[in-house]
Amino acid sequence: MRIALASDHAGYAEKERLKTVLSDLGVEFDDLGTRSEESVDYPDFARAVAEQVADGRVEQGLLVCGSGTGMAITANKVPGVRAAVAWSEETARLARQHNDANVLAIGARTTPPTDIPKIVRTWFSTEFEGGRHAARVNKISDVEKHARS
């Protein structure tokens, strides 16, 4: 699996730590920035990741910012992206199983640092269940299409 990875300044240190976790999982990644803890605008990085997911250059995305929320909101503006903020292993698992989420957003300031690697491992080891959930995910796409027209 290949993913796009990015953070803002608040998530930079955690993003760098997660590279080892991703490598251990066999997940290849394109690091789209940021490159330091110097203040940046998180929407720029969330958009870059979301666009790579939406156009199929990567299978999934991973975003890290202060709360995860701003990046998830931004990523979800890109058609075809289903970004979820996960703050526990359970929320990560359910986002993948039930929502077929394709972008994980994590809050570096709101999630205990010891939990973040567990969340990432859970995310990348969980598959979409399909079945009754597929119809619901299709409805999300229908809402997206209607909103664009």
3-class SS letters over 67-134: CCHHHHHHHCCCCCCCEEECCCHHHHHHHHHHHCCCEEEEECCCCCCCCHHHHHHHHHHCCCCCCHHH
H or E element at residue 20:
helix 12-25
Residue 146 designated active-site: no
Which residue among the candidates 9, 98, 133, 146 is catalytic per the annotation? Answer: 98
CB atoms within 10 A of CB 127: 8
Which residue among the candidates 9, 65, 133, 146 is catalytic per the annotation? Answer: 65
The pair phi, psi for residue 66, each rounded to 5°, is: -60, -50
Residue 98 designated active-site: yes
The pair phi, psi for residue 27, each rounded to 5°, is: -90, 120
Q: Is the peptide bond before 91 cis (omega within 30 degrees of 0)?
A: no
**Which whole-number Å values give the CA distances from 41 to 17, 18, 33, 36, in the listed order?**
21, 21, 11, 13
- Residues catalogued as catalytic: 65, 98
